[in-house]
Amino acid sequence: MQAARHRLRLRRMPAPKLTRVNAPQPGRAIVIINPSKFDHGSVGQVQATIADACQRWGWQPPQFVETTAEDPGCGQTQQALHQQPDLVMACGGDGTVRCVAQELAGRDVPLGLLPAGTGNLLARNLGHPLDDLAAAVEVALTGVDRTIDVGWVSLNDQPEQAFLVMTGLGYDAEIMAHAPAKLKARMGPVAYVVSGARRLRGHRVRLELRIEQRLVHNGRVRSVLIGNCGKIQAGISLMPNAAVDDGALDALILSPRSVVGWMGVMVQLITHRRRGHRNVDHYQGQVLSATLAHPKLAQIDGDPVGVASTLSARVQPGALRVRVPAADSLE
């Protein structure tokens, strides 16, 4: 039985054909911008940098639409699509990117990434500039389009939401929920380390994980993560098998009992080992469902979204066009 479980964990899904297209022609861009990611008074400077780049590369003057606490990007993107733009740029963190991508999924309008958050995990996984706005805008305006998968998740049988990086229940969501915006603004990614260290001790809960309706895991865990890609800060790959365009989702289950157990988990994750620790399990599939015996905190692409006891996820292969650096294109 144990050997069969290992074969399932490391199963590689067939990768769909990767599609990239030629560099774009100048056109009209709409920028969905999250003003909370910038210091007071600097939003105008950000807009000027983007507008200058559009002028330099022959694009029309961009239109800027700000997100709000009530609508973090979905409604703004819906309205933008009515204007038939040639490009929609998301200027914010992974939450802003997720909302914009949710509306662009399945459409022909590409997404440009202008990272302005703490994690910027999709941009990290795609090799985008992270700390240079001008360089990121240049990629969005002059790069090539790459199709990537989109994950869809339903928590507690509620309507599906898109995710591009990771969604999960348990410890990972606790880290996100207890790393407040002020702490992240002051300490950057270190805020997550501080939050995580404070919550190493905690109760495990029984999990049933099914892939394509087959029960593959039944045991007590601290966290279950479902990922579309696997890289986080500091070059750590939580899910070594995960690829953003492989037509599959990856599951990571963490089940340490103590702080000492967490040390072994961290060593395995940092060294990119895929097996060899009893507190870490990897799985892969296209349709996954997780059921917890008791509700735990949940997160979607790093945003806390309350508590949940059930999570259902599926992959939509090649659903999103993302503008990437031209050097990443196929010859």
pLDDT digits (tens, 9 = 90+) for 296-308: 999 999 899 999 9
Amino acid at residue number 75 = G
Question: Which tens digit of pLDDT belongs to each residue from 38-47?
Answer: 987 799 999 9
Q: Please, what is the end-to-end C-alpha distance for the chain in angstroms?
A: 45
What is the enclosing helix (H) or strand (E) of 59?
none
Position 41 scores a pLDDT of: 79
E strands, 141-204, are 144-155, 161-163, 166-170
User: Binning pLDDT at 50, 70 and 90, where does residue 232 land?
Assistant: confident
Question: Which tens digit of pLDDT belongs to each residue from 31-64?
Answer: 999 999 998 779 999 999 999 999 999 999 999 9
Q: Are 8 and 241 in contact (CB under 8 A)?
A: no
User: Binning pLDDT at 50, 70 and 90, where does residue 236 land?
Assistant: confident
User: Binning pLDDT at 50, 70 and 90, where does residue 79 land?
Assistant: very high
More confident residue, 285 or 196: 285
User: Cβ contacts of residue 141 below 8 Å, gap of 6+?
Assistant: 24, 26, 29, 53, 54, 57, 59, 87, 112
Q: Are 151 and 163 in contact (CB under 8 A)?
A: yes
**Span 146-163, average pLDDT:** 98
CB atoms within 10 A of CB 22: 9
Rounded Cα distance between 110 and 117, Å, is 20
More confident residue, 243 or 19: 243
Find where tokens 């309507």 sit: 159
**Span 222-241, average pLDDT:** 88
More confident residue, 77 or 185: 77
User: Binning pLDDT at 50, 70 and 90, where does residue 194 land?
Assistant: low
Position 259 scores a pLDDT of: 60
Position 312 scores a pLDDT of: 98
Which DSSP letter does residue 235 get? G
CA distances from residue 35 to 38, 89, 124, 218, 294 in whole angstroms, order as listed? 6, 14, 21, 43, 37
> What share of the chain in percent tops pLDDT 90?
66
Q: Are 230 and 241 in contact (CB under 8 A)?
A: yes
More confident residue, 98 or 259: 98
Position 4 scores a pLDDT of: 33
Position 163 scores a pLDDT of: 98
Position 18 scores a pLDDT of: 43
Over 70: is that where the pLDDT of 183 sits?
no
Position 201 scores a pLDDT of: 65
Question: Which tens digit of pLDDT belongs to each residue from 93-131?
Answer: 999 999 999 999 999 999 999 999 888 999 999 999 999
**Span 233-257, average pLDDT:** 88
Question: Which tens digit of pLDDT belongs to each residue from 269-291?
Answer: 666 554 545 688 999 999 999 99
